[in-house]
Amino acid sequence: MAQTNQVFIAIIGAGGVGKCFLSQLADLSTRRPSPKLSLCYISTSKKAVYNADYSIGDNALQDLAASTKAPMSLPQVADYLAAAPSKAILVDNTSSQDVADAYPLFLSRGVSIVTPNKKAFSGSYKLWQDIFSAASTSGAKVYHESSVGAGLPVISTLKDLVDTGDEVIKIEGVFSGTMSFLFNSFAPVEGSGGQWSAEVKKAKELGYTEPDPRDDLNGLDVARKLTILARLAGLPVESPTSFPVQSLIPKELESVSSGDEFLQRLPEFDSQMEETKSAAQKQGKVVRFVGSIDVASKAVKVGLEMFDKSHPIAALKGSDNVISFYTKRYGSNPLIIQGAGAGGEVTAMGVTSDFIKVVSQIS
């Protein structure tokens, strides 16, 4: 039986971010006993744990590993959550387009959504409109801070700028933790740097890349983030492929079918990135992967640029993102947000903080 002050939670996706979110959720439940946070469903793409009485044990990950139950279909999950004894939140920790496409269904059934998945907000403009119109009709909430800059307060800051009537002129910076890590280690300001393909492998091992690292290297991950920010700034960008995006996938590997085969063959093409690095070095510069949105001219672009070694973008460390908001109020000194832009814990932090906001609004 539901307590008056109880929130039911379904988690889809239990990988790098999903596992960190689960541990932050357990900690949150200990620190804040009310409302009672009740996990009632957890799944990967192959397995699920759930029960008809909406209770699952305290060892969700162990139970998931041992489970022989297949996941419910997405409409079944929506029915299950809509029929929960009190309000429910879906936490989508996948990068699945299918799950993203189902957000309007969940929201229309009164189920709130929290997610680091970029696919819903950078898919077709129609999906974007359907999501927010379903939320506004049903009153369910949708938060996705970690879809840009992981846990860094990028989306909340941009929304605050827009909601308070500031005029966003330009947004620019380094939007990918993977690309930041790769260029900071492959083409550092001091020293010779590592081997491109070996750094790509490291970025994957550190949990910075998308499930398939080609989604980072083809520029699409950054293009998705810029699509989200541009839309929030008022530009109805149609899709992440409707503006120029530079890919770092070698031509010869474009048709490779699996991410594993791609990573295996990438060392054959290290010389291509070495050439890019040397071209910058000859001018006393370093190369970095950046993006920008010019709101007035509606120009969005993603790709490599060369920077003086003294430039703040050249001096970034680790997986750091740096995002500058040029606005009417802030004038020529932009509002700048900087810090780790990838990794399980920092990404889950953005998901958990969104989750706390939703809980406080629906309970």
Ligand X SMILES: N[C@@H](CC=O)C(=O)O
Choose between 174 and 286: whose C-beta lies nearer to ligand NDP.
Answer: 174
96 binds ligand NDP (CB under 6 A): yes
Least Å distance between CB 115 and Na ion?
12
87 annotated to a ligand binding site: no
- Can you tell me which of 11, 78, 88, 99 binds ligand NDP, judged by CB under 6 A? 99
Which 310-349 residues touch ligand NDP, going by CB under 6 A?
A: 342-343, 347
How many CB atoms sit inside 10 A of residue 161's CB? 21
DSSP β-bridge partners for residue 326: 170
225 is annotated as an active-site residue: yes
Q: What angle do CA 216, 343, 18 make, to 5 degrees?
A: 100
Does 118 belong to an annotated binding site?
yes
Identity at 164, one-letter amino acid code:
T
Q: Please report the DSSP string for 181-248 in residue order.
A: HHHHHHS-SSS----HHHHHHHHHHTT-S-SSTHHHHTSHHHHHHHHHHHHHTT-----TTSS-B---
- Determine if residue 187 is labeled as part of a ligand binding site: no
Smallest gap from residue 176 Cβ to ligand X (A) = 4
State which amino acid sits at residue 236: P
Q: Which parts of this chain interact with ligand X (CB under 6 A)? A: 150, 176-178, 208-210, 216, 221, 341-342
Tell me if 10 sits within 8 A of 37, measured CB to CB. Answer: no
Which residue has the closest beta carbon to Na ion?
Answer: 149
Smallest distance, Na ion to C-beta of residue 23, A:
19
Instruction: State the Cα–Cα distance between residues 30 and 187, nearest whole angstrom.
Output: 44
Q: Interface residues with Na ion (CB under 5 A)?
A: 145, 149, 152, 154, 350
What's the residue count for the chain? 363
- Please, which residue, 96 or 185, has the CB nearer to ligand NDP? 96
> Which of ligand NDP, Na ion, ligand X, none interacts with 117 (beta carbon under 5 to 8 A by kind)?
ligand NDP
123 near ligand NDP, rule: CB under 6 A: no
Q: Taking the complex as a whole, how short is the minimal distance between the CB of residue 80 and ligand X, in angstroms?
A: 29
154 interacts with, out of Na ion, ligand X, ligand NDP, none, CB within 5 to 8 A per kind: Na ion
Residue 63 token pair? 């139970």
Phi, psi of 336 (to 5 degrees): -115, 135
Residue 145: contacted member of Na ion, ligand X, ligand NDP, none (CB under 5 to 8 Å, by partner type): Na ion
- Helix, strand or coil for residue 310? coil
Residue labelled with tokens 């541990």: 23
Question: Beta strand pairing status for 299-308 and 36-43?
Answer: unpaired
Residue among 225, 282, 317, 357 flagged as catalytic = 225
Instruction: State the Cα–Cα distance between residues 100 and 131, nearest whole angstrom.
Output: 10
Q: Indicate which of ligand NDP, Na ion, ligand X, none lies near residue 24 (CB less than 5 to 8 Å, by partner kind).
A: none
Q: Which residue is nearest to ligand X (CB)?
A: 178
Q: How far is the CB of 91 from Na ion (least distance, A)?
A: 16
Please indicate if the annotation marks 57 as binding a ligand: no
Residue among 223, 216, 281 nearest 248 (CA): 216
Question: Least separation, in Å, of the C-beta of 150 and ligand X?
Answer: 5
Alpha-carbon distance of 212 to 20, in angstroms, equals 19
Beta bridge partners of 323: 173, 337
The answer to the question of whether 13 is labelled as a binding residue is yes
With binding defined as CB under 6 A, does residue 145 bind ligand NDP?
A: no
Q: Which residues contact 354 (CB under 8 A, 6 or more apart)?
A: 114, 143, 144, 145, 146
Q: Binding ligand NDP by CB under 6 A: which of 57, 211, 234, 244?
A: 211
Of 12 and 359, nearer to ligand X (C-beta) is 12
Q: Residue 287 and residue 324: Cα distance in Å, rounded?
A: 19
Q: Which residue's beta carbon is nearest to the bound ligand NDP? A: 15
- The answer to whether 120 contacts ligand NDP (rule: CB under 6 A) is no
Annotated binding site for L-homoserine: 210
Q: Would you name the residues annotated as active-site residues?
A: 225
Q: Which residues bind ligand NDP (CB under 6 A)?
A: 12-18, 43-46, 71, 93-96, 98-99, 116-118, 146, 150, 177, 207-208, 210-211, 342-343, 347
